[in-house]
Structures are given as structure tokens and as C-alpha cells.
Amino acid sequence: MAQTIRAGTLTVLTFKDGLLSRLGHDLQLSLREFELTIDQRQVDARFNTSAIVVDGAVRAGGGLDRYALTGRDEAEIREAIQSKVLLTESFPEAHLNATLTVKSEHEVSLRGMLELVGQAREIELSIERRDGHLRGSVVLVPSRWGIAPYKALLGALRLHDRVEVRFDLPDPGPPGASGG
């Protein structure tokens, strides 16, 4: 029996680079509209990329600064993500089709294809199962999907060609278990 997850936390971290990187911010974004269906060991997930939210800037020592960006900054960042990075008018969703493999009582691996901006590439990651949650992270290299690192100020300020996606989702139960 398939189980669907629509709640939880999906966070995307971006990292600044370039000669003028001190003028920019590492950012934390959230993806709040998604649907992940697990049927036996098969995973089908859809992520509404046009619903990305700018949470704030990441401090140098870690932690989130929700006040480092103005409302205008957040709107400009969101617009750049939608129109120049993820091309959400043409590709409003990202899609994951994958298989889960149980490694141990507290670890599951996921391997499959992630489609971004119309390009599908293989990804693999480990997922921790603990205290009723599925937690993990994966580093994605956007250029693998044909996404060029975002640049401003003639390239003197740009983003690294890597983002980190972190997730914390409710655990529907062991993959392949009856009823889940």
C-alpha cells in the first residue's frame, strides 16, 4: 500500500563565490510544496519549484539570519531563482523516481533519477531513520542538469556550482512493510 508524505522540511543551501562574495550571502531556501509517495521500495516525488521560499541568509558560523535580507532582496532572489535558474515557467516541478534499499534498522539508501529543468540525472543518498523521521542531505551540482551558476555584477559575485539539500520528513514505516 502506497503512503504519501506532504509534510516535513526540505531546505536548500546555496553558497556564494567570486571576487565580491563578501557582498553576497549564503542563502537558505525552503521548498514547501511537495508530494512524496512510497510504494513498497519505489519512491515517486514531485516538488513545486515555483513555490521556493527564501528563509534568509546563513551566518558565517552557521545559523539562519532571517533579517539580513529585505523583503525586496527576497523578492529579487526568488525571481532570479524562478526565471534564471530553475526556469519555473517552463519547468514548474522537479521529479524524483527512485528505489529505496534498507541498509540497517536506522539507514536506508535511495538511488534514482532526479529531473530538474527537463534534465534527468542519477542521484544516490543515505537516509537516516530515527525517532519517527527520515533525515538526510545530498549535495547537488546544478551544472549536471545544465543549470549554470547564477552570476551578478559581471560574474564578480556568483554562486558555487553546488547546493546542499537537507530534509527531515515523517517516517511512514519500513520500506516494503505491509501497509507501507
The CATH number of the domain holding residue 9 is 2.40.128.110
pLDDT at residue 175 is higher than 70: no
Residue 143 lies in a domain: yes
pLDDT tens per residue across span 22-61: 556 789 999 999 999 999 899 999 999 999 999 999 988 8
- 5-9: average pLDDT: 95
Q: Which domain holds residue 113?
A: 3-170
Task: Give residue 97's pLDDT band: very low, low, confident or very high (50, 70, 90).
Answer: very high
Residue 180 maps to a domain: no
Q: Is 179 among the domain residues?
A: no
pLDDT for 180: 42
23 in a domain, yes or no? Answer: yes
pTM of the model: 0.88
Structural domain includes residue 155: yes
pLDDT digits (tens, 9 = 90+) for 104-134: 999 999 999 999 999 999 999 999 999 999 9
Cell reading at 9: 522540511
Average pLDDT in the chain: 88
- pLDDT given for residue 137 in this prediction: 97
- Cell 534568509 sits on residue: 56
Question: Is the per-residue pLDDT at 167 higher than 80?
Answer: yes
For residue 63, is it within any domain? Answer: yes
Backbone angles phi, psi at 63, to 5 degrees: 90, 160
The answer as to whether 176 is a domain residue is no
Distance CA 106, CA 134 (A): 9
Write the CB contacts of 55 (distance below 8 Å, at least 6 apart in sequence): 11, 27, 28, 29, 30, 64, 66
The answer as to whether 76 is a domain residue is yes
Closest CA to 52 of 79, 91, 89: 79
Count how many domains the chain has.
Answer: 1
